[in-house]
A and B are shown apart, each in its own frame.
Chain A
Amino acid sequence: MFYITIDQFEGPLDLMLYLIKEKKLDLFDLDVSVLISQYQAYIHSMKERQFEIATEYISELAGLIEYKSKKLIPTAKVEFDSEQQEQPMDIVDRLLAYEQAKKISLQLKERYEKRMQLLSKPPTTFDHQKQQIKHQSPHDLLKAFEKVMARVRLSNPFELKTTNKELSVSARVNELRKDILTFSSSFLMEELFKKASDIQEMIVTFLAILDMIRLQELSFTIDDDHVYLQRREYGQPKDEN
Protein backbone atom coordinates (compact mmCIF):
# COMPACT_ATOMS: atom_id res chain seq x y z
CA MET A 1 0.00 0.00 0.00
CA PHE A 2 1.31 3.37 -0.93
CA TYR A 3 0.86 6.09 1.62
CA ILE A 4 1.09 9.80 1.10
CA THR A 5 2.73 11.24 4.18
CA ILE A 6 2.06 14.56 5.77
CA ASP A 7 5.63 15.67 5.04
CA GLN A 8 4.82 15.85 1.38
CA PHE A 9 2.50 18.76 1.94
CA GLU A 10 3.55 22.35 2.33
CA GLY A 11 0.77 22.95 4.83
CA PRO A 12 -2.90 22.36 5.59
CA LEU A 13 -4.12 24.18 2.49
CA ASP A 14 -1.86 22.08 0.32
CA LEU A 15 -3.38 18.97 1.90
CA MET A 16 -6.91 20.28 1.30
CA LEU A 17 -6.13 20.98 -2.35
CA TYR A 18 -4.77 17.47 -2.69
CA LEU A 19 -7.91 15.97 -1.15
CA ILE A 20 -10.16 18.14 -3.32
CA LYS A 21 -8.35 16.95 -6.44
CA GLU A 22 -8.20 13.35 -5.22
CA LYS A 23 -11.93 13.21 -4.44
CA LYS A 24 -12.74 15.25 -7.54
CA LEU A 25 -14.51 17.92 -5.53
CA ASP A 26 -15.39 21.15 -7.25
CA LEU A 27 -13.50 24.01 -5.67
CA PHE A 28 -15.99 26.52 -7.01
CA ASP A 29 -18.95 24.63 -5.56
CA LEU A 30 -17.25 23.09 -2.60
CA ASP A 31 -19.01 20.52 -0.47
CA VAL A 32 -17.30 21.48 2.75
CA SER A 33 -18.72 18.56 4.74
CA VAL A 34 -17.07 16.07 2.37
CA LEU A 35 -13.81 17.97 2.63
CA ILE A 36 -14.04 18.00 6.43
CA SER A 37 -14.57 14.25 6.64
CA GLN A 38 -11.77 13.55 4.18
CA TYR A 39 -9.43 15.92 5.94
CA GLN A 40 -10.27 14.48 9.32
CA ALA A 41 -9.83 10.91 8.09
CA TYR A 42 -6.45 11.80 6.69
CA ILE A 43 -5.25 13.45 9.89
CA HIS A 44 -6.42 10.42 11.86
CA SER A 45 -4.65 7.94 9.63
CA MET A 46 -1.47 9.98 9.90
CA LYS A 47 -1.77 9.99 13.67
CA GLU A 48 -2.22 6.24 13.70
CA ARG A 49 0.98 5.87 11.75
CA GLN A 50 2.59 8.15 14.30
CA PHE A 51 3.34 11.03 12.05
CA GLU A 52 3.67 14.27 13.84
CA ILE A 53 0.88 16.60 12.87
CA ALA A 54 1.71 20.27 13.08
CA THR A 55 -0.76 22.38 15.04
CA GLU A 56 -1.53 24.32 11.87
CA TYR A 57 -3.30 21.27 10.47
CA ILE A 58 -5.50 20.94 13.53
CA SER A 59 -6.24 24.64 13.57
CA GLU A 60 -7.34 24.59 9.92
CA LEU A 61 -9.63 21.65 10.66
CA ALA A 62 -11.28 23.76 13.34
CA GLY A 63 -11.49 26.56 10.77
CA LEU A 64 -13.23 24.28 8.28
CA ILE A 65 -15.78 23.19 10.84
CA GLU A 66 -16.42 26.79 11.86
CA TYR A 67 -16.94 27.73 8.22
CA LYS A 68 -19.35 24.86 7.71
CA SER A 69 -21.38 25.66 10.83
CA LYS A 70 -21.64 29.31 9.83
CA LYS A 71 -23.06 28.17 6.50
CA LEU A 72 -25.73 26.15 8.28
CA ILE A 73 -26.98 29.02 10.37
CA PRO A 74 -29.12 31.46 8.44
CA THR A 75 -27.51 34.86 8.58
CA ALA A 76 -29.54 37.96 9.15
CA LYS A 77 -29.10 40.43 6.35
CA VAL A 78 -27.50 43.50 7.82
CA GLU A 79 -28.00 46.60 5.70
CA PHE A 80 -24.82 48.45 6.54
CA ASP A 81 -22.59 45.45 6.44
CA SER A 82 -19.30 45.18 8.22
CA GLU A 83 -17.88 45.25 4.70
CA GLN A 84 -15.78 48.28 5.54
CA GLN A 85 -13.90 46.28 8.11
CA GLU A 86 -11.53 43.93 6.45
CA GLN A 87 -13.04 40.50 6.62
CA PRO A 88 -10.73 37.55 6.95
CA MET A 89 -10.71 35.53 3.73
CA ASP A 90 -12.98 32.52 3.86
CA ILE A 91 -11.60 29.06 3.27
CA VAL A 92 -12.65 28.84 -0.39
CA ASP A 93 -10.96 32.16 -1.20
CA ARG A 94 -7.87 31.02 0.62
CA LEU A 95 -7.82 27.72 -1.25
CA LEU A 96 -8.20 29.52 -4.56
CA ALA A 97 -5.44 31.97 -3.67
CA TYR A 98 -3.19 29.19 -2.47
CA GLU A 99 -3.81 27.19 -5.63
CA GLN A 100 -2.75 30.25 -7.62
CA ALA A 101 0.38 30.69 -5.54
CA LYS A 102 1.27 27.05 -6.12
CA LYS A 103 0.72 27.32 -9.84
CA ILE A 104 2.90 30.42 -10.03
CA SER A 105 5.58 28.90 -7.83
CA LEU A 106 6.03 26.20 -10.48
CA GLN A 107 6.62 28.83 -13.13
CA LEU A 108 9.01 30.67 -10.83
CA LYS A 109 10.91 27.44 -10.32
CA GLU A 110 11.26 26.98 -14.06
CA ARG A 111 12.42 30.55 -14.52
CA TYR A 112 14.86 30.23 -11.66
CA GLU A 113 16.40 27.07 -13.04
CA LYS A 114 16.71 28.62 -16.46
CA ARG A 115 18.34 31.75 -15.06
CA MET A 116 20.82 29.67 -13.07
CA GLN A 117 22.12 28.31 -16.36
CA LEU A 118 23.08 31.75 -17.59
CA LEU A 119 26.56 32.41 -16.30
CA SER A 120 28.34 35.70 -15.87
CA LYS A 121 31.72 36.96 -14.78
CA PRO A 122 32.78 39.23 -11.93
CA PRO A 123 33.29 42.89 -12.83
CA THR A 124 36.65 44.15 -13.97
CA THR A 125 38.34 45.98 -11.13
CA PHE A 126 41.30 48.24 -11.18
CA ASP A 127 43.13 48.53 -7.91
CA HIS A 128 44.41 52.10 -7.64
CA GLN A 129 46.33 51.36 -4.48
CA LYS A 130 48.56 48.69 -5.92
CA GLN A 131 51.41 51.10 -6.67
CA GLN A 132 51.62 52.47 -3.17
CA ILE A 133 52.38 49.21 -1.48
CA LYS A 134 56.12 49.24 -2.13
CA HIS A 135 56.59 52.44 -0.13
CA GLN A 136 55.51 50.80 3.07
CA SER A 137 57.66 49.02 5.59
CA PRO A 138 57.01 45.61 7.14
CA HIS A 139 56.55 47.48 10.38
CA ASP A 140 53.38 49.08 8.99
CA LEU A 141 52.09 45.65 8.18
CA LEU A 142 52.76 44.52 11.73
CA LYS A 143 50.96 47.55 13.12
CA ALA A 144 48.03 46.91 10.85
CA PHE A 145 47.93 43.30 11.94
CA GLU A 146 47.88 44.31 15.58
CA LYS A 147 44.98 46.60 14.88
CA VAL A 148 43.13 43.77 13.22
CA MET A 149 43.78 41.52 16.19
CA ALA A 150 42.52 44.20 18.54
CA ARG A 151 39.39 44.51 16.46
CA VAL A 152 38.91 40.76 16.50
CA ARG A 153 39.24 40.78 20.25
CA LEU A 154 36.70 43.57 20.49
CA SER A 155 34.22 41.80 18.30
CA ASN A 156 34.69 38.50 20.12
CA PRO A 157 35.11 39.67 23.67
CA PHE A 158 34.11 36.40 25.27
CA GLU A 159 34.87 32.83 24.52
CA LEU A 160 31.93 30.99 23.07
CA LYS A 161 31.14 27.98 25.20
CA THR A 162 28.08 25.95 25.89
CA THR A 163 29.06 24.62 29.27
CA ASN A 164 26.48 24.43 31.94
CA LYS A 165 28.44 25.65 34.86
CA GLU A 166 26.63 26.14 38.10
CA LEU A 167 27.84 29.36 39.64
CA SER A 168 26.67 30.31 43.05
CA VAL A 169 27.37 33.65 44.61
CA SER A 170 28.35 32.13 47.93
CA ALA A 171 30.89 29.81 46.27
CA ARG A 172 32.34 32.81 44.47
CA VAL A 173 32.51 34.71 47.78
CA ASN A 174 34.60 31.90 49.21
CA GLU A 175 36.91 31.98 46.18
CA LEU A 176 37.27 35.73 46.42
CA ARG A 177 38.12 35.53 50.11
CA LYS A 178 41.09 33.36 49.20
CA ASP A 179 42.04 35.48 46.20
CA ILE A 180 42.10 38.80 47.98
CA LEU A 181 44.53 37.51 50.57
CA THR A 182 47.16 37.63 47.84
CA PHE A 183 46.35 41.26 47.07
CA SER A 184 47.48 44.34 48.92
CA SER A 185 44.94 45.72 51.32
CA SER A 186 43.60 48.14 48.71
CA PHE A 187 43.18 47.16 45.08
CA LEU A 188 41.30 47.94 41.91
CA MET A 189 37.98 46.18 41.54
CA GLU A 190 38.99 45.07 38.02
CA GLU A 191 41.54 42.72 39.57
CA LEU A 192 38.75 40.47 40.70
CA PHE A 193 37.30 40.20 37.19
CA LYS A 194 40.51 39.06 35.55
CA LYS A 195 39.75 35.42 36.02
CA ALA A 196 36.14 35.71 34.87
CA SER A 197 35.97 34.14 31.42
CA ASP A 198 32.38 34.84 30.52
CA ILE A 199 29.56 37.19 31.26
CA GLN A 200 27.97 34.86 33.79
CA GLU A 201 31.13 34.66 35.84
CA MET A 202 31.40 38.43 35.73
CA ILE A 203 27.88 38.85 37.01
CA VAL A 204 28.39 36.33 39.78
CA THR A 205 31.68 37.97 40.71
CA PHE A 206 30.02 41.35 40.89
CA LEU A 207 27.23 39.97 43.06
CA ALA A 208 29.82 38.34 45.27
CA ILE A 209 31.61 41.66 45.69
CA LEU A 210 28.35 43.34 46.63
CA ASP A 211 27.68 40.60 49.12
CA MET A 212 31.10 40.96 50.69
CA ILE A 213 30.55 44.69 51.02
CA ARG A 214 27.27 43.96 52.74
CA LEU A 215 29.07 41.58 55.08
CA GLN A 216 31.58 44.38 55.64
CA GLU A 217 34.43 42.16 54.53
CA LEU A 218 35.19 44.75 51.86
CA SER A 219 34.77 48.46 51.71
CA PHE A 220 35.07 50.61 48.64
CA THR A 221 36.14 54.05 47.55
CA ILE A 222 35.50 55.56 44.17
CA ASP A 223 38.13 57.73 42.57
CA ASP A 224 37.01 59.06 39.19
CA ASP A 225 36.53 56.01 36.98
CA HIS A 226 38.25 53.61 39.31
CA VAL A 227 36.69 51.62 42.08
CA TYR A 228 39.10 50.63 44.82
CA LEU A 229 38.26 47.88 47.22
CA GLN A 230 39.74 47.64 50.68
CA ARG A 231 40.16 44.31 52.34
CA ARG A 232 39.28 44.20 56.00
CA GLU A 233 41.99 42.39 57.89
CA TYR A 234 40.73 39.52 59.96
CA GLY A 235 40.57 40.28 63.60
CA GLN A 236 39.91 43.93 62.85
CA PRO A 237 36.81 45.18 64.55
CA LYS A 238 34.02 45.59 62.05
CA ASP A 239 32.84 48.94 63.20
CA GLU A 240 36.13 50.59 62.51
CA ASN A 241 35.78 52.48 59.22
Chain B
Amino acid sequence: MDNLKTKIEGLIFVAGDEGITLEQIAQATSQEIMSIQQAIDDLNDHYHQQHHAIMIHQSLDVVKFVTIDEVYPTLSFYLQLKSTRSLSQSALETLAIIAYKQPITRSQIEEIRGVNCDLMIRKLQSLDLIVEAGRETTPGRPILYEVTPEFLDVFNLLDLDELPKWEETSMKEGDELYHG
Protein backbone atom coordinates (compact mmCIF):
# COMPACT_ATOMS: atom_id res chain seq x y z
CA MET B 1 0.00 0.00 0.00
CA ASP B 2 1.48 3.34 -0.92
CA ASN B 3 1.52 6.47 1.11
CA LEU B 4 -1.60 8.10 -0.33
CA LYS B 5 -3.78 5.06 0.27
CA THR B 6 -2.59 4.88 3.87
CA LYS B 7 -3.43 8.53 4.43
CA ILE B 8 -6.84 8.11 2.86
CA GLU B 9 -7.52 5.08 5.00
CA GLY B 10 -6.70 7.10 8.12
CA LEU B 11 -8.91 10.00 7.07
CA ILE B 12 -11.89 7.79 6.30
CA PHE B 13 -11.38 5.97 9.59
CA VAL B 14 -11.60 9.10 11.75
CA ALA B 15 -14.47 10.55 9.73
CA GLY B 16 -16.65 7.66 10.89
CA ASP B 17 -20.31 7.42 9.90
CA GLU B 18 -20.50 11.09 9.02
CA GLY B 19 -18.22 10.31 6.12
CA ILE B 20 -15.70 12.50 4.38
CA THR B 21 -15.93 14.03 0.92
CA LEU B 22 -13.41 13.38 -1.82
CA GLU B 23 -12.82 17.13 -1.79
CA GLN B 24 -11.89 17.07 1.90
CA ILE B 25 -9.50 14.17 1.31
CA ALA B 26 -7.99 16.03 -1.62
CA GLN B 27 -7.36 19.05 0.57
CA ALA B 28 -5.87 17.04 3.41
CA THR B 29 -3.54 15.09 1.12
CA SER B 30 -2.90 17.79 -1.53
CA GLN B 31 -3.85 15.37 -4.27
CA GLU B 32 -6.18 15.47 -7.25
CA ILE B 33 -9.70 14.16 -6.74
CA MET B 34 -9.15 11.78 -9.66
CA SER B 35 -6.27 10.02 -7.93
CA ILE B 36 -8.19 9.99 -4.64
CA GLN B 37 -11.06 8.16 -6.32
CA GLN B 38 -8.62 5.72 -7.89
CA ALA B 39 -6.95 5.07 -4.54
CA ILE B 40 -10.33 4.46 -2.89
CA ASP B 41 -11.28 1.96 -5.58
CA ASP B 42 -7.92 0.24 -5.15
CA LEU B 43 -8.40 0.12 -1.39
CA ASN B 44 -11.81 -1.47 -1.84
CA ASP B 45 -10.36 -4.08 -4.21
CA HIS B 46 -7.66 -4.79 -1.67
CA TYR B 47 -10.16 -5.20 1.20
CA HIS B 48 -12.25 -7.48 -0.94
CA GLN B 49 -9.34 -9.68 -2.03
CA GLN B 50 -8.01 -9.94 1.49
CA HIS B 51 -11.48 -10.78 2.90
CA HIS B 52 -11.60 -7.75 5.17
CA ALA B 53 -14.76 -7.16 7.16
CA ILE B 54 -14.90 -3.50 6.22
CA MET B 55 -15.23 -1.66 2.95
CA ILE B 56 -15.45 1.93 1.80
CA HIS B 57 -19.03 2.89 1.09
CA GLN B 58 -19.48 5.73 -1.38
CA SER B 59 -22.55 7.83 -2.06
CA LEU B 60 -22.06 10.80 -4.38
CA ASP B 61 -18.68 12.12 -3.21
CA VAL B 62 -19.00 11.02 0.42
CA VAL B 63 -17.05 7.97 1.56
CA LYS B 64 -17.18 6.12 4.85
CA PHE B 65 -16.15 2.81 6.33
CA VAL B 66 -18.90 0.24 6.75
CA THR B 67 -18.87 -3.41 7.62
CA ILE B 68 -19.69 -5.81 4.81
CA ASP B 69 -22.98 -7.67 4.73
CA GLU B 70 -21.35 -11.09 5.19
CA VAL B 71 -20.47 -10.27 8.79
CA TYR B 72 -23.88 -8.79 9.60
CA PRO B 73 -25.31 -12.00 11.14
CA THR B 74 -22.34 -12.22 13.51
CA LEU B 75 -22.47 -8.51 14.36
CA SER B 76 -26.20 -8.40 14.87
CA PHE B 77 -25.95 -11.38 17.21
CA TYR B 78 -23.24 -9.65 19.24
CA LEU B 79 -25.06 -6.30 19.25
CA GLN B 80 -28.38 -8.05 19.85
CA LEU B 81 -29.94 -6.12 17.02
CA LYS B 82 -33.59 -6.76 16.43
CA SER B 83 -34.82 -6.90 12.87
CA THR B 84 -33.82 -3.83 10.92
CA ARG B 85 -36.32 -1.03 10.94
CA SER B 86 -37.93 -0.61 7.60
CA LEU B 87 -39.75 2.08 5.68
CA SER B 88 -43.47 1.68 4.98
CA GLN B 89 -44.69 0.74 1.53
CA SER B 90 -46.27 4.17 1.08
CA ALA B 91 -43.01 5.86 2.06
CA LEU B 92 -41.12 3.77 -0.49
CA GLU B 93 -43.64 4.49 -3.26
CA THR B 94 -43.52 8.21 -2.56
CA LEU B 95 -39.72 8.17 -2.56
CA ALA B 96 -39.64 6.19 -5.80
CA ILE B 97 -41.84 8.78 -7.51
CA ILE B 98 -39.81 11.72 -6.20
CA ALA B 99 -36.47 10.12 -7.09
CA TYR B 100 -37.52 9.62 -10.70
CA LYS B 101 -39.66 12.68 -11.34
CA GLN B 102 -37.82 15.25 -9.29
CA PRO B 103 -38.22 18.11 -8.86
CA ILE B 104 -41.87 17.34 -8.37
CA THR B 105 -44.82 18.97 -6.62
CA ARG B 106 -47.03 17.33 -4.05
CA SER B 107 -50.04 17.30 -6.38
CA GLN B 108 -47.99 15.57 -9.08
CA ILE B 109 -47.05 12.87 -6.60
CA GLU B 110 -50.66 12.55 -5.55
CA GLU B 111 -51.74 12.23 -9.17
CA ILE B 112 -49.62 9.10 -9.50
CA ARG B 113 -50.39 7.65 -6.08
CA GLY B 114 -54.07 8.55 -5.96
CA VAL B 115 -53.92 9.34 -2.26
CA ASN B 116 -53.12 12.38 -0.16
CA CYS B 117 -49.37 12.63 0.46
CA ASP B 118 -49.22 15.66 2.73
CA LEU B 119 -48.27 13.79 5.90
CA MET B 120 -45.95 11.43 4.06
CA ILE B 121 -44.02 14.33 2.55
CA ARG B 122 -43.57 15.90 5.94
CA LYS B 123 -42.44 12.58 7.37
CA LEU B 124 -39.88 12.09 4.60
CA GLN B 125 -38.66 15.64 5.11
CA SER B 126 -38.17 15.00 8.80
CA LEU B 127 -36.18 11.86 7.93
CA ASP B 128 -33.97 14.07 5.76
CA LEU B 129 -34.73 11.91 2.72
CA ILE B 130 -36.30 14.72 0.67
CA VAL B 131 -35.95 18.50 0.66
CA GLU B 132 -37.77 21.42 -0.84
CA ALA B 133 -36.17 22.44 -4.11
CA GLY B 134 -37.70 25.78 -4.96
CA ARG B 135 -41.14 26.41 -6.37
CA GLU B 136 -42.82 25.77 -9.67
CA THR B 137 -43.72 28.86 -11.69
CA THR B 138 -47.29 27.69 -12.28
CA PRO B 139 -50.18 29.41 -10.46
CA GLY B 140 -50.00 28.95 -6.71
CA ARG B 141 -46.24 28.45 -7.03
CA PRO B 142 -46.33 24.96 -5.50
CA ILE B 143 -43.27 23.69 -3.63
CA LEU B 144 -41.02 21.30 -5.52
CA TYR B 145 -39.35 18.36 -3.80
CA GLU B 146 -36.25 16.32 -4.52
CA VAL B 147 -34.31 13.56 -2.80
CA THR B 148 -31.26 14.28 -0.61
CA PRO B 149 -27.74 12.80 -0.49
CA GLU B 150 -29.02 11.01 2.62
CA PHE B 151 -31.56 9.26 0.37
CA LEU B 152 -28.74 7.96 -1.82
CA ASP B 153 -26.81 6.71 1.19
CA VAL B 154 -29.79 5.02 2.80
CA PHE B 155 -30.66 3.23 -0.44
CA ASN B 156 -27.09 2.22 -1.12
CA LEU B 157 -26.81 4.30 -4.28
CA LEU B 158 -23.67 5.88 -5.66
CA ASP B 159 -25.87 8.34 -7.55
CA LEU B 160 -29.36 8.54 -9.03
CA ASP B 161 -28.22 6.94 -12.30
CA GLU B 162 -27.76 3.71 -10.41
CA LEU B 163 -31.53 3.39 -10.05
CA PRO B 164 -33.19 1.05 -12.56
CA LYS B 165 -34.83 2.67 -15.56
CA TRP B 166 -38.34 4.05 -15.23
CA GLU B 167 -40.15 2.44 -18.12
CA GLU B 168 -42.10 5.39 -19.41
CA THR B 169 -44.98 4.11 -21.44
CA SER B 170 -47.40 6.78 -22.46
CA MET B 171 -50.71 5.77 -23.94
CA LYS B 172 -51.27 9.21 -25.41
CA GLU B 173 -50.19 8.23 -28.93
CA GLY B 174 -52.07 4.97 -28.82
CA ASP B 175 -55.34 6.52 -27.72
CA GLU B 176 -57.19 5.49 -30.85
CA LEU B 177 -56.05 1.91 -30.55
CA TYR B 178 -58.45 0.88 -27.88
CA HIS B 179 -62.11 1.54 -27.43
CA GLY B 180 -62.51 1.85 -23.71
Q: Is the CB of A92 within 8 A of B155?
A: no
A10-B113 in contact (CB<8A): yes
Contact A123 B17 (CB under 8 A): yes
Is B28 an interface position by the 8 A CB rule?
Answer: no
Output the nearest chain B residue to A26 by Cβ-Cβ distance. B178
Cβ–Cβ contact A56 & B89, under 8 A: no
Are the C-beta atoms of A11 and B66 separated by less than 8 Å? no
Flag whether B60 is at the interface (Cβ < 8 A): no
Closest to A109 in B: B92
Q: Is B180 an interface residue (CB 8 A)?
A: yes
Q: Are B84 and A101 in contact (CB under 8 A)?
A: no
Stretch at the interface among B33-41, B42-50, B163-171: B163-171
Q: Residue-by-residue, is B78-105 near A (CB-CB < 8 Å gives 1, otherwise 0)? A: 0000001111011011011101100000
Q: Is the CB of A123 within 8 A of B14?
A: yes
Query: Which A residues are in CB contact (< 8 Å) with B72?
Result: 117-119
A113 near B16: Cβ-Cβ < 8 Å: no
Question: Which of B66, B92, B95 has a CB less than 8 Å from the CB of A119?
Answer: B66
Asked if B172 and A10 sit within 8 Å, CB to CB, the answer is no
Contact of B96 with A56 in the complex, beta carbons under 8 Å: no
Shortest distance in angstroms between B47's beta carbon and chain A's nearest beta carbon? 13
Question: Which one of A28, A108, A117, A119 contacts B96 once the chains associate, using CB atoms below 8 Å?
Answer: A108
With A111-B156, A111-B157, A119-B67 as given contacts, are A13 and B113 in contact (CB-CB < 8 Å)? yes
* B32 close to A (CB within 8 Å): no
Q: Is the CB of A56 within 8 A of B169?
A: no
How near does chain B come to A113, taking the closest CB pair, in angstroms?
6
| B66–A93 touching, CB < 8 Å | no
- Say yes or no for A195: interface residue by CB 8 A criterion: no
Q: Cβ of A107 < 8 Å from any Cβ of B?
A: yes
- B18 close to A (CB within 8 Å): yes
Question: A209 an interface residue at 8 Å Cβ cutoff?
Answer: no
Is the beta-carbon distance between A98 and B66 smaller than 8 angstroms? no
In the assembled complex, the Cα of A219 lies from the Cα of B160 at a distance in Å of 70
What is the CA–CA distance of A60 and B18 in the complex, to the nearest angstrom? 44
Q: Closest residue of chain B to A90, judged by CB?
A: B171
A116 and B153 within 8 A (CB): no
- Say if the beta carbon of A121 comes within 8 Å of chain B: yes
- A102 contacts B by Cβ under 8 Å: yes
Q: Kindly list chain A residues whose C-beta atoms are within 8 Å of the C-beta of B111.
A: 88-89, 94
By beta carbon, the residue of chain A nearest B172 is A93
Distance in angstroms from B153 CB to nearest chain A CB is 7
Kindly identify, within residues 10 to 64 of chain A, every residue whose CB is under 8 Å from any CB belonging to chain B. 10-14, 28-33, 54, 56, 60
- Once bound together, how far apart are the Cα atoms of A54 and B116, in whole Å? 11
Given contacts A104-B163, A109-B92, contact A120 B112 (CB under 8 A): no
- By the criterion CB–CB under 8 Å, are A101 and B14 in contact? no
User: Do A105 and B84 contact each other (CB < 8 Å), given the known contacts A56-B115, A90-B171, A115-B156?
Assistant: no
Tell me if A117 and B84 are in contact (CB < 8 A): yes
Q: A112-B154, A116-B84, A120-B17 are in contact. Are A98 and B113 (CB under 8 A)?
A: yes
Q: Which one of B93, B155, B170 contacts A102 once the chains associate, using CB atoms below 8 Å?
A: B93
> What is B's interface to A at a CB cutoff of 8 Å?
13-18, 57, 64-69, 72, 75-76, 84-87, 89-90, 92-93, 95-97, 99-100, 111-116, 153-157, 163-164, 166-167, 169-172, 174, 177-180
Beyond A32-B180, A117-B84, A122-B16, list 5 extra A-B contacts (CB 8 Å): A10-B93, A11-B115, A56-B115, A104-B96, A123-B18
Q: Could you show 14 A-B contacts with beta carbons less than 8 Å apart?
A: A10-B90, A10-B93, A12-B114, A97-B112, A101-B96, A108-B155, A109-B86, A112-B87, A114-B156, A115-B156, A117-B69, A118-B57, A120-B67, A124-B15
